[in-house]
């Protein structure tokens, strides 16, 4: 299977797991806790498959950078978290770093 597709699956599952972690309220709610555990297991399985064909440095940067950006958007949309200019600029710098890693080959 395509490494980039598996990386996208890994990112989606990582974001889902992080949402489950927030909703689990410190692992006190069984449903969200199970969502978190299963999502992270699937995430690391998909990431492992992606790493068969992708460079580790690039895959990890994309996984963590896009995961961060998506979790930030979910936090703002679902949990009414703040989004300051400073936070937005910092996240954009991370994304630019990821793009730099991908483009510099």
Q: Block means of pLDDT (10 residues each) for the chain, length 105 residues?
A: 94 98 98 98 98 93 91 95 94 86 69
Is-above-0.95 flag for pTM?
no
pLDDT for 105 = 58
Nearest CA among 80, 69, 16 for reference residue 42: 16
DSSP state letter for 34: H
Residue 41 to residues 16, 22, 52, 91, 105, Cα–Cα distance (Å):
11, 17, 17, 26, 31
pLDDT for 35 = 98
pLDDT for 8 = 97
pLDDT for 104 = 64
pLDDT for 82 = 95
Nearest CA among 94, 77, 57 for reference residue 15: 77
**Which residue ranges make up each domain of the chain?**
3-103
pLDDT for 85 = 96
């Amino acid at each position: 299977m395509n490494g980039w597709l598996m990386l996208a699956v890994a990112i989606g599952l990582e974001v889902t797991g992080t949402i489950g972690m927030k909703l689990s309220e410190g692992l006190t709610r069984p449903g969200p806790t199970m969502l978190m555990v299963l999502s992270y297991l699937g995430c690391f399985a998909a990431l492992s498959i992606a790493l068969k064909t992708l460079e580790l440095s690039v895959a990890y940067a994309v996984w963590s950078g896009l995961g961060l950006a998506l979790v930030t958007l979910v936090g703002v949309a679902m949990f009414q978290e703040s989004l300051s200019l400073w936070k937005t600029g910092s996240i954009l710098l991370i994304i630019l770093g990821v793009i730099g890693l991908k483009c510099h080959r």
